[in-house]
Amino acid sequence: MAPQSKTLFEQFLAPIFSHLIDRDALVRLSESIDWETAVAEFTNPQVVYPNYYKTSNFHGVKHGYLNKDAALTYDPITQYVLPPGETWVRESLVKAIGGNPRRILDLGCGTGTTTLMLKGHFPEAEVIGLDLSPQMLVMADHKARTAGVNVTYRHGNAMATGLPAASFDVVCATLLFHETPPAVAKTILSEAFRLLTPGGQMLVLDGNQRTLRATDWLSTIFEEPFIRDYSQGNVDAWLGYAGFEQVRTEDVFWLNQLSYGRKPLPVAERAMEHEGEGVEVGLPLGQMA
Ligand SMILES: C[S@@+](CC[C@H](N)C(=O)[O-])C[C@H]1O[C@@H](n2cnc3c(N)ncnc32)[C@H](O)[C@@H]1O
């Protein structure tokens, strides 16, 4: 049999998506943005791209996320790969956040779909999205401006954000960890722990590790370079290793999962909490406001 030069993604998924995508609309969108200027505005020259990021082809796209085509096609494709529906899946994270956070950080925010939902749900909060791809941030910023929503986007590495310690009440990561080597995911969780205030909440929405282990063809077809390593891991264990407490994960339909951890309170506040004096005690994910 002749060697197959096309990847599975190119053979099967790309033709399907190409039928689902409105190419003319994408061209119009692309032409409405001055990419060179916008990318330059978002680029922080001090950001160093980790090797895994520079050298991997995510979803079969050459040069990964560091190009405008990846940013332009991300939303039109993502809407079809989060059953039973993209908004429902993303809302599972937003609705699991307890209390009224004042500052929220969305790590690996991409084109900012979850970031915008976070701001919509917590309009009083300062919401910041951080990503390694200036092109993804340009799209995110375009969406925020078009929607008239005030969020801040920042170019940076989630492993070492340079943001001040204990400055966020909530840190979240949506669809980030299946695209990173597990060692990177663990480093990101340690950085999130540093960034959170005591009692702060960490939420991770991503592929369902149990489902992915049982359906290897999904990992093959989606051409994610690290998804098999991700599926062999355990986000609960990673959260515990980073220092989080009240760690738990629940299924979000069958393809995704939502994980939660809380940064421990200092001992004195912990005692007050046990006496029920006003500090919110973590609830099972499904019961959180
Ligand atoms: C699959 S996309 C998810 C985007 C968005 N969170 C969403 O839910 O649609 C993964 C994103 O993570 C970003 N990313 C990967 N590694 C990162 C890192 N170390 N620091 C910051 N962003 C990273 C990529 O640039 C990409 O935008």
Give 3-34 pLDDT, tens digit per residue.
444 544 555 556 666 777 778 888 899 999 99
Instruction: Specify the residue with its C-alpha closest to ligand 1, atom 4.
Output: 110
Q: Break the chain into its structural domains and give their ranges.
A: 8-267
Q: How high is the pLDDT of residue 266? A: 87
Q: How high is the pLDDT of residue 60? A: 57
Say which residues have a Cβ less than 8 Å from residue 220's Cβ, sequence separation at least 6. 8
What is the model's pTM? 0.89
Give mean pLDDT, residues 75-100. Answer: 95
Q: Which atom of ligand 1 is the closest one to the Cα of 133?
A: 25
Question: Does CATH number 3.40.50.150 belong to domain 8-267?
Answer: yes
93 token code pair: 């994270």
Q: Which atom of ligand 1 is the closest one to the Cα of 90?
A: 8
For residue 264, the CA-to-ligand 1 centroid distance in Å is: 27
For residue 72, the CA-to-ligand 1 centroid distance in Å is: 14
List % helix, strand, coil for the chain (3-state, nearest 5): 50, 20, 35
221: pLDDT strictly greater than 80? no
232 token code pair: 């062999």
Q: How high is the pLDDT of residue 282? A: 46
Q: What span, in angstroms and rounded, lies between the C-alpha atoms of 267 and 269?
A: 6
Give mean pLDDT, residues 85-107. Answer: 98
For residue 271, the CA-to-ligand 1 centroid distance in Å is: 38
The 3 state secondary structure assigned to 23-79 is HHHHHHHHHCCCHHHHHHHHCCCCCCCCHHHHHCCHHHCCCCCCCHHHHHHHHHHHC
Give 109-139 pLDDT, tens digit per residue.
999 999 999 999 999 999 999 999 999 999 9
For the chain, what is the mean pLDDT? 89
281: pLDDT strictly greater than 50? no
Lining residues, ligand 1, CB within 6 Å: 53, 65, 78, 108-110, 113-114, 131-133, 136, 157-159, 174-176, 179-180
Give 146-182 pLDDT, tens digit per residue.
999 999 999 999 999 999 999 999 999 999 999 999 9
